[in-house]
Amino acid sequence: MQIVLVTLHIVVSVALIVIVLLQKGRGADIGALFGGSSQTLFGSTGGSTFFNRLTTSVAIIFMLTSLTLAYRSQRYGSDSIMKGVQPAATAPVPGKEQAPPPAAPAPEPTKAAPAAEKEAAKQ
C-alpha cells in the first residue's frame, strides 16, 4: 500500500508541475510550443477553464496523498532519519586553557571644564 501511495504521489506531483506550466500566463503560453495555442485545442475560453479545473483536481489529489502519507508515517512508527545521530561534541583545543571573558574596562574620570575649575578655585 505504501509503495502505491508513494508512486501515485510522484506521478501526481509531476502532473501538477506539467499542468501548471501548460497554463496560459501573462505572456506567451508554453502550450504554444507544442504546435499552436492551447485555445485552439479547447475553444476560445474552454482551455482556461479546462486547465483550471484540471489543476484544482490534481492539487486536491496531491494534498490527499500528502496527508495520507504523513498520517501513515506517524501511525506506523517510521523512525526519524536523525534518530541514531550523536551530536557533535566540541573538544577543547589542546594547549589553550579556557580563560574567563575579560572584564569591562573602568570608565576614565572626566576632566572638569576649565571654567568650572576656575569657579571652584575662587570659592
- 1 confidence band (pLDDT: 50, 70, 90): confident
Residues 41 and 47: beta-carbon distance below 8 Å = yes
Q: What is the pLDDT of residue 116?
A: 59
Q: Is 7 helix (H, G, I), strand (E, B) or coil?
A: helix
pTM: 0.48
- 112 confidence band (pLDDT: 50, 70, 90): low
Cα separation, 3 vs 8, in Å, equals 8
Burial category of 66 from C-beta neighbours within 10 Å (exposed 0-12, middle 13-18, buried 19 and up): middle
- 108 confidence band (pLDDT: 50, 70, 90): confident
User: What digits encode the pLDDT tens for the residues 34-75?
Assistant: 655 545 555 555 556 888 899 999 999 999 999 998 888 777
Q: What is the pLDDT of residue 73?
A: 79
Smallest Cα–Cα separation from 58: which of 102, 88, 14, 94?
14
Q: What is the CA radius of gyration of the chain?
A: 35
Domain residues of the chain, as ranges? 2-22+30-75
Lowest-confidence range among 20-24, 58-62, 83-87? 83-87
